[in-house]
């Protein structure tokens, strides 16, 4: 496919570096742009400290650091900070953090008087090491952009996922938001799939557990698509599946989410007979390959399209 790619005309040199969180995605993005990732050595000292060494010059170049803040989030965050600091000290002209999954975005407010707002803290430290721009995909909440003083561009995987889903889902599908926070996302899917929207209201019982209190919308006898920005522990989705089946939904459920974290037994919670397909993107590495219902759509072409526009100083508005 290389010969089909349009030549990239850039005003100055640039380089893409891959962190260890998702090197396969970084390689795919670089291939879409028509380059290879920059050479960089990332190691751990015996005491766990991070060691970074750039193997090529970044002087007066535009640098893109591809590193989702996926589990282990703390380790990947420190690695991103170290990469950015190395680039800044090596006189990079501009540093863009390509963070397909922005960890800590769920910590966007305090629930008590003695809690941190980790989303804001992450924004502060990214700026402190000299990052000029952040590129991410489907933030958990849009107000996270306001935590940054530097430019933030948020891409969305919804068009790519909806295009894939349109091949299998019938018109009139009920797109279900598993909580009120996912309602806008559900509305966008419904618009693209010619469907209707239902929303589940829930009560959080712990950091990992929720309980559905009621359902707004008619799902009886209907094909349902459950959408969310991420699948973490699977607790929210498990509650949604149970509530929809109790309400009479057809036992042919589809789940779509941008970020497939799939931690802490998530597979066991959502691997139910009624779930026929689970669709995620490759923003996060490590999705199981031996799970037939799971389908992974690459986000690399979308991010590569954004990078091309950035280095050419063009708007991202025509990406979708």
pLDDT score, position 319:
87
The alpha helices in 215-318, defined as continuous H runs, are 235-246, 266-270, 300-311
Tokens 């979308």 belong to residue = 302
- In the chain, pLDDT over 90 holds for what percent of residues? 84
Burial of 11 (0-12, 13-18, 19+ CB in 10 A): exposed
Alpha-carbon distance 197 to 226, whole Å?
Answer: 10
Q: Give the gyration radius of the chain's Cα atoms.
A: 20
> Do both 251 and 143 map to the same domain?
no
> Do both 187 and 150 map to the same domain?
no
> Do both 72 and 173 map to the same domain?
no
> Do both 98 and 109 map to the same domain?
yes
CA-wise closest residue to 244 among 235, 236, 253:
253
> Do both 149 and 187 map to the same domain?
no
pLDDT digits (tens, 9 = 90+) for 99-112: 999 999 998 888 87
Is pLDDT at 206 greater than 70 in this prediction?
A: no
Identify whether 317 is part of a domain: no
Alpha-carbon distance 37 to 265, whole Å?
Answer: 34
* Number of independent structural domains in the chain: 2
pLDDT score, position 1:
40
Alpha-carbon distance 296 to 278, whole Å?
Answer: 9
CATH code for the domain of 235: 3.40.50.2020
Helix/strand number for the chain, H first, E second: 8, 14
Which whole number is the average pLDDT over 202-207? 62
pLDDT digits (tens, 9 = 90+) for 281-299: 999 999 998 999 999 999 9
Cis amide leading into 72 (omega within 30):
yes
Query: For residue 72, what are the contacts with CB-CB under 8 A and spacing of at least 6?
Result: none
CA-wise closest residue to 262 among 238, 233, 239:
233
Is pLDDT at 11 greater than 60 in this prediction?
A: no
Q: Choose the weakest-confidence range: 132-136, 298-302, 311-315.
A: 311-315
Query: For residue 272, what are the contacts with CB-CB under 8 A and spacing of at least 6?
Result: 241
Q: Which of 202, 222, 269, 308 is flagged as catalytic?
A: 202
> Do both 113 and 172 map to the same domain?
no
Identify whether 57 is part of a domain: yes
Using the Cα atoms of residue 290, residue 164, residue 140 and residue 207 in order, give the sign of their dihedral.
Answer: negative
Is pLDDT at 165 greater than 70 in this prediction?
A: yes
Which whole number is the average pLDDT over 128-150? 95
Q: Binning pLDDT at 50, 70 and 90, where does residue 3 land?
A: very low
Describe the strand order of the beta sheet including 152-155 as a list of residue ranges: 14-18, 62-66, 94-99, 133-137, 152-155
Strands (E), 170-218: 174-177, 196-204, 210-216
> Do both 151 and 14 map to the same domain?
yes
187 versus 3: the higher-pLDDT residue is 187
Using the Cα atoms of residue 81, residue 106, residue 301 and residue 263 in order, give the sign of their dihedral.
Answer: positive
pLDDT score, position 2:
43
CA-wise closest residue to 295 among 268, 265, 257, 264:
257
> Do both 218 and 278 map to the same domain?
yes
Identify whether 320 is part of a domain: no
> Do both 228 and 257 map to the same domain?
yes
Identify whether 316 is part of a domain: no
pLDDT digits (tens, 9 = 90+) for 137-147: 999 988 899 99
Catalytic residue list contains 202: yes
Domain holding 6, by residue range, is: 2-156+300-311
> Do both 193 and 135 map to the same domain?
no
Identify whether 38 is part of a domain: yes
> Do both 14 and 143 map to the same domain?
yes
pLDDT digits (tens, 9 = 90+) for 166-182: 999 998 999 999 998 89
133-137 vs 94-99, strand pairing mode? parallel
Q: Give the tokens for residue 31.
A: 């291939």
Q: Give the tokens for residue 227.
A: 């959408």
Is pLDDT at 53 greater than 90 in this prediction?
A: yes
Which whole number is the average pLDDT over 226-241? 94
Identify whether 133 is part of a domain: yes
Alpha-carbon distance 140 to 122, whole Å?
Answer: 14
Identify whether 88 is part of a domain: yes
> Do both 152 and 163 map to the same domain?
no
Q: What is the pTM of this model?
A: 0.91
Is pLDDT at 10 greater than 50 in this prediction?
A: no
């Amino acid at each position: 496919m290389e010969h089909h790619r349009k030549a990239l005309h850039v005003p100055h040199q640039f380089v893409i570096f891959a962190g260890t969180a998702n090197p396969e995605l970084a390689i795919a993005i670089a291939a879409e742009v028509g380059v290879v990732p920059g050479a960089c050595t990332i190691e751990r000292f015996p005491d766990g400290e991070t060691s970074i060494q750039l193997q090529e010059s970044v002087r007066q170049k535009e640098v893109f650091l591809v590193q989702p803040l996926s589990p282990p989030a703390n380790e990947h965050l420190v690695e991103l900070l170290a990469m950015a600091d190395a680039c800044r000290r090596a006189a990079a002209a501009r540093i863009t953090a390509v963070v397909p999954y922005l960890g800590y975005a769920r910590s966007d407010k305090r629930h008590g008087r003695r809690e941190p707002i980790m989303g804001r803290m992450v924004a502060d430290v990214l700026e402190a090491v000299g990052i000029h721009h952040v590129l991410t995909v489907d933030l958990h909440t849009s107000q996270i952009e306001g935590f940054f003083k530097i430019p933030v561009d948020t891409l969305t995987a919804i068009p790519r996922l909806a295009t894939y889903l349109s091949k299998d889902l019938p018109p009139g599908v009920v797109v279900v938001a598993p909580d009120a926070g996912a309602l806008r996302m559900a509305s966008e899917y419904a618009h693209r799939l010619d469907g209707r929207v239902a929303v589940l209201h829930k009560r959080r019982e712990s950091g990992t557990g929720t309980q559905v209190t009621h359902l707004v919308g008619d799902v009886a006898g209907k094909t349902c698509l459950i959408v969310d920005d991420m699948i973490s522990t699977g607790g929210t989705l498990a509650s949604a599946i149970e509530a929809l089946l109790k309400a009479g939904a057809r036992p042919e459920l589809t789940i779509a989410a941008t970020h497939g974290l799939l931690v802490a037994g998530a597979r066991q919670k959502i691997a139910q007979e009624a779930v026929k397909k689970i669709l995620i993107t490759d923003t996060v590495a490590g999705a199981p390959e031996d799970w037939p219902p799971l389908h992974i759509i690459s986000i690399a072409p979308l991010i590569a399209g954004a990078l091309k526009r950035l280095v050419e100083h063009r708007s991202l508005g025509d990406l979708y």
